[in-house]
């Protein structure tokens, strides 16, 4: 084997390692689930929500006039459907028919839940509409979980009160519980939804996954149509059910830097697994060849664009810097949802809020 062939083999082995690393890291994207509540009353707004990507899930009020129609349409789209189960709030408010109340018996709660499941076809999960009184009552929520145990449903706790007992109540049952962390439209403006979606993105990156809940308000609809196509590439839009079966790992992805990360000078101080190999060859130009230069440039740019993994990018950069190449333009700055990420991260935890239809 000639010296040149040996060098090519080394470079090829390195590229295989890097490519497999890329696949591993891209699988570790952070998960974001968006659920739109209160479906079934406002057909026009609901239909606009159904124009969003099918990963956006919907929660249907079981006694709403268009609930069944919306469930059938959403199911045809492959969209996940939840039952938006009316549960009693602490404050006096107009209530949906068949609202669950903490004073109800296990049998009464079971009857109402079974009726709701019969009214909303294709549903696979349930979340609470209002419910600050109901969800903070452990016994009442144990009745809910017992009723859901045979259905295969998951329960998404909308967290309308800090003292919710949903998770505790599901212990010992097969019901899996998820929690909402962000409300997208407590204030009904596009700006609020943008701000809250940025908060959700920041939380997803920090934790690996996050669930945000919104409503079919015109401002939410407009904002989501604009912002969902701009979600950063490291954020994977998923349904809550997908989140349960493909538990998100903490993202290996770093937040998007404000400036391109291409260094001005070659990186020489750290060349992990590459060092012993390259030290054998003195002439940098020997590693190159147009094909390899182009390949490494492409991989590097893909990494920088997608912001996948800092360490892999650093190693690739050091390889690239060792190659003869023309000047490279830094990757163009990407406009994304996360432009105010730093500000969003400082926003304190959201107070529990009661949502209304
Ligand atoms: Zn609701």
CATH number at residue 72: 3.20.20.370
pLDDT digits 0-9 by tens, 88-128: 999 999 999 999 999 999 999 999 999 999 999 999 999 99
Q: What are 17-32's pLDDT values in tens digits?
A: 554 444 444 456 899 9
Helix (H, G, I), strand (E, B) or coil at 101: coil
Digit-coded pLDDT (tens) for 266-299: 333 333 222 222 222 222 333 344 444 455 555 5
In the reported structure, the alpha carbon of residue 86 is separated from the centroid of ligand 1 by a whole-number distance in angstroms of 7
162-206 residue pLDDT tens: 999 999 999 999 999 999 999 999 999 999 999 999 999 999 999
Q: How far is the CA of 283 from the centre of ligand 1 (A)?
A: 67
Query: What separation in Å is there between the alpha carbon of 77 and the centre of ligand 1?
Result: 23
Collect all residues with Cβ–Cβ distance below 8 Å to 189 and sequence separation of at least 6.
219
Does 51 reside within a domain?
yes
Which residue carries 């009745």 as its tokens? 143
In a domain, 215, yes or no: yes
Residue 133 lies in a domain: yes
Q: Which residues pair with 178 in a beta bridge?
A: 156
Q: Is 100 helix (H, G, I), strand (E, B) or coil?
A: strand
Q: Is 313 part of a structural domain of the chain?
A: no
H helices present in the chain, as ranges: 3-26, 43-49, 67-76, 106-119, 132-135, 138-148, 166-170, 190-207, 218-227, 240-245, 275-280, 284-287, 290-306, 310-321, 341-346
Q: Are 319 and 293 within 8 A, CB to CB?
A: no
Kindly report whether the global pTM for this prediction surpasses the value 0.75.
no
Taking all residues of the chain, what is their mean pLDDT, rounded to a whole number?
76
CA 188 to each of CA 37, 127, 130, 255, 346: distance values in angstroms, whole numbers, following the listed order: 14, 21, 18, 28, 21
Structural domain count of the chain? 1
Q: Tell me if 2 is assigned to some domain.
A: no
Structural domain containing residue 181: 30-244
- The verdict on residue 199 lying in a domain is yes
Quick check: is 22 in a domain? no
Q: Which H or E run includes 83?
A: strand 81-87
For residue 208, the CA-to-ligand 1 centroid distance in Å is: 26
Q: Do the domain assignments include residue 40? A: yes
- Main-chain dihedrals φ then ψ at residue 81, nearest 5 degrees: -120, 135
357 CA from centroid of ligand 1 (Å)? 5
The Å distance, Cα 116 to ligand 1 centre, comes to 15
Q: How far is the C-alpha of 226 from the C-alpha of 214, rounded, in Å?
A: 15
pLDDT band at 209, cuts 50/70/90? very high
Taking the C-alpha atoms of residue 131 and residue 161, their distance in angstroms, rounded to an integer, is 8
Residue 29: exposed, middle, or buried by beta-carbon count in 10 A (0-12, 13-18, 19+)?
A: buried
pLDDT at 280: 25
């Amino acid at each position: 084997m000639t010296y040149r062939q040996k060098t090519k083999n080394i470079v090829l082995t390195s590229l295989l390692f890097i490519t497999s690393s890329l696949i591993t890291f891209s699988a570790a994207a952070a998960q974001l689930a968006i659920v739109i509540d209160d479906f079934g009353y406002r057909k026009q707004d609901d239909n606009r929500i159904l124009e969003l990507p099918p990963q956006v899930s919907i929660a249907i009020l079981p006694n709403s006039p268009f609930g069944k129609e919306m469930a059938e349409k959403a199911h045809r789209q492959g969209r996940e459907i939840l039952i938006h189960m009316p549960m009693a709030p602490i404050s006096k408010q107009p209530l949906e028919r068949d609202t669950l109340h903490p004073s109800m018996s296990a049998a009464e709660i079971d009857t109402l839940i079974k009726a709701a499941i019969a009214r909303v076809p294709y549903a696979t999960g349930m979340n609470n509409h209002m419910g600050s009184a109901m969800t903070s009552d452990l016994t009442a929520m144990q009745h809910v979980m017992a009723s859901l145990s045979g259905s295969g449903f998951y329960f998404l706790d909308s967290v309308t009160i800090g003292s919710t007992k949903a998770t505790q109540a599901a212990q010992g049952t097969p019901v899996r519980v998820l929690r909402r962390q962000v409300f997208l439209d407590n204030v009904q403006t596009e700006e609020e939804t943008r701000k809250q979606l940025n908060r959700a993105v920041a939380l997803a990156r920090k934790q690996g996954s996050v669930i945000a809940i919104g409503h079919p308000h015109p401002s939410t609809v407009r904002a989501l149509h604009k912002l969902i196509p701009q979600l950063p590439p490291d954020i994977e839009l998923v349904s809550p059910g997908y989140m349960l079966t493909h538990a998100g790992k903490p993202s290996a992805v770093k937040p998007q830097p404000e400036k391109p990360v291409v260094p001005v000078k070659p990186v020489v101080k750290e060349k992990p697994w590459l060092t012993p190999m390259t030290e054998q060859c003195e002439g940098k130009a020997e590693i190159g060849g147009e094909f390899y230069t182009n390949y490494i440039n492409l991989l590097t740019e893909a990494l920088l664009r997608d912001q996948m993994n800092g360490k892999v990018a650093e190693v690739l950069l050091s390889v690239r810097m060792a190659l003869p190449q023309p000047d490279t333009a830094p990757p163009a700055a990407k406009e994304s949802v996360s432009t105010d990420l730093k500000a969003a991260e400082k926003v304190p935890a959201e107070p529990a809020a009661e949502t209304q239809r």
